[in-house]
Amino acid sequence: MSIFAFHLALLALASPLLWIIRPHRLSFAGWIAALPPAIVTGWQLLQLPAIAQGQTLAAEVVWSPALGLALSFRLDGLSLFFGLVITGIGTCIALYTAYYLEGNPRLGYFYSLLFLFMASMLGLVWADNLLALFVFWEGTSITSFLLISFNHEDAGAERGASTALVVTGLGALAMLAGLVLLAQSVGSYSISTIVNTANLSETPYYTAALLLILLGAFTKSAQFPFHFWLPGAMAAPTPASAYLHSATMVKAGIYLLARLHPALHESALWFWALLLAGSITMILGAISTFRHSDLKAILANATLSQLGMLVMLLAFHSEYAYLAVIVGVLAHALYKGPLFMLAGIVDHAMETRDIHRLANLRTIMPAATVAATLASLSMAGFPPLFGFLAKETLLETFHHFAEYDNAMIGYIGMGVGALGGALFVGYSLTFLWEPFFRREATVNPAHLHHAPSFWFVLPALLLVVIGTIIPLVLPWVEKGLLIAPAGSIAGEPLDAHLALWHGFTPVFLTSLGAIALGLLIFWQRTQLRMLFAFAPAWLNGQQMYEWCYRQSYALARLVTKFVQGGRLEGQISITLLCTVMAVGYALVVQRGFSELQIDWSNTPEVQEIVIALLAIVAAIVTVRAERRLSAIISIGVVGVVVTLAFAFFGAPDLALTQLLIEVLTVVLLILVFHRIPPRDHPKAPRLLRIRNLVMAVAVGFMGFGLSLVAIGQPYARSISDYFSLNSVPAAHGANIVNVILVDFRG
């Protein structure tokens, strides 16, 4: 546990320290900030050889065994892979942030949020307990909300942050219910135990648990129909967008689906839900890129498309799909992170991200142009870059499914994948050509607001270089970095191999066809923008969300007005109604009166009848009284009658106490009402009086029912004997009732 706790604490404690030292005053702040995630990355890299051999590293601190609460961590291929992505990309983001927010007095605050988010993400992928995973999951939601709303004076940032929090928060609550059902089905909250449980789909809670968990994963990873929140989150500062929406937060849902894949993949519901949601999201996201001219908006919708591709792959149960997911996640992080950074660099330098107002930036940003070229071509899937390998594994998954499982679904999926790949090519080349290589623009590139330094571009260059090198050194890194995490998704070690070249296969020819179609799309991009501009606005889901939000707000106001209407009378009525319903359900439905054993043979004595009649008459007079003083005196009479009942039934001490309370209450009420002005409003409406009557009768029957249940219960002799034997020696009181009230219960 100590090694896991150390690295999480390193990131968590770096958060306040970076705030305290005021990094905006330090020229080397970025290098200081990059040190903690770099240390964690280095430690994880040291674990690669052991993980590649199938070993795992685990630690646990049990909190409450009865409730399944434990802080347990487990490092296997999948958690190590995502951990490396989180801290590796995080190291570059920490360095990039110092230059992006250079001189900003809130740089320390941003760093503190960034590192808290990083620690939450790392805890999420390391966690081996469902409840611990949920806690870290919520940590990412809260810190991402604060990061997106960093520029809180911007209405767009506030709206984007609140939308992201509401959507992912509601999904998280649904997911929590699903995780609990899943744990109840297995009998354990341990993730490693759950994924090794066979035939989980035959348990009674499987379908409900699956749907709820999918809801949480889909909202987190912005899958259709919850895809609308991600473009709005682009109001965040670019370092946050580059980190949250390329490598971390939006990948949390992908991680959850991959982690639970061995336990949940056995049903057709899993297959069709992921296949349909992923494919729709992929196509919608790709099409939406052509409706925008803002660099970050283009990248946001491209991210939607690629997340859809990953979800679609997780629908399948084959080693090709598992490898495609891992390669796709890593490739996406290594080209999308740099592209977001470059969008921020362009915005920082030119004070605009509109591709129609940018051109010929290659002449003034050569280093950024190199990084943009490599990253964009990788996103487009051009060989021999890492993005090409991701596209090949995607198409290979569908081709294998068509050959060995279902030809129709496989070839349709292959066509959808090829179409998505063509759209990838189209918007990737658009992102590269318009700002960097196009010659004409309304903004003169010579009018530079702030020339980017080499150190500003270095983090993006570093990630692009890593993404370019990995395909060239696959034989040396594939086992620990790619195949081991794919084996974690499969639930067993994989004997697989990755290569850039497999010959002129149907998959390769399909990939070439996708590139050719993508070049055509790029050539006709202006016409496509005009065409897609007329696409229905409801396709992005934002209008539906806003309508639901307005209706929820109106319903909340209605409920608040009903429950907390500003009148004490109404609030008491609601409280009593809920109490009567809860107690009535317990008495009538859960228990029933048939089991009560009450002796009804005893007839009431005269004094009992007189007391009951006096109480009824006094209560009626209280309700019918026109003057306050009359009502107070009448209700005092009710209290005196209750005192007489206590005295008749052998409780003189209790009767004396009741009498003192009644006298004091009557005196206080008279004094208070003496200060209140006389009533000048008319008598309460008839409907309101009927409601009050029904409520009073219901409360009376509730008390009557509870009394019957209490009378019908067998005496607990052990408790009675204990009070009798210990009232004098232990509490020094001869009156057992007083001792119970004051000492034993007090």
Percent of the chain with pLDDT over 90: 21
User: What residue type is 196 in one-letter code?
Assistant: N
CA distance 283 to 419: 8
Instruction: Give me 678's structure tokens.
Output: 């006389």
Confidence (pLDDT) at 660: 85
pLDDT tier at 673 (50, 70, 90 boundaries)?
confident
Pairing, β 69-75 against β 57-64 = antiparallel
For the ranges 242-256, 288-302, 526-540, 721-735, the lowest mean pLDDT is seen at 526-540
Confidence (pLDDT) at 461: 94
With b meaning 16 or more CB within 10 Å and e meaning fewer, what string describes 692-706? eeebeebeeebeebe
Mean pLDDT of the chain: 83
Confidence (pLDDT) at 465: 93
Listed in sequence order, the DSSP H helices in 524-627 are: 525-532, 542-563, 568-584, 606-624
**DSSP per-residue codes, 342-395:** HHHHHHHHHS--BGGG---GGGT-HHHHHHHHHHHHHHHT-TTSHHHHHHHHHH
Place of tokens 């928060």: 169
pLDDT tier at 605 (50, 70, 90 boundaries)?
confident
Mean pLDDT, residues 481-488 taken together: 88
Decide: helix, strand or coil at residue 71. Answer: strand
Which residue in 500, 459, 404, 393 sits closest to 100, CA to CA? 459
Q: Give whichever of 69-73, 169-173, 196-200, 708-712 has the largest mean pLDDT.
A: 169-173
Q: Calculate ∠ Cα 640-643-644, nearest 5°.
A: 95
* pLDDT for 125 beyond 70: yes
* pLDDT for 531 beyond 90: no
Mean pLDDT, residues 15-35 taken together: 71
Tell which wins on pLDDT, 568 or 329. Answer: 329
Tell which wins on pLDDT, 41 or 685. Answer: 41
pTM for the model: 0.81
CA distance 392 to 394: 5
Measured from the Cβ of residue 708, the count of other Cβ atoms closer than 10 Å reads 14
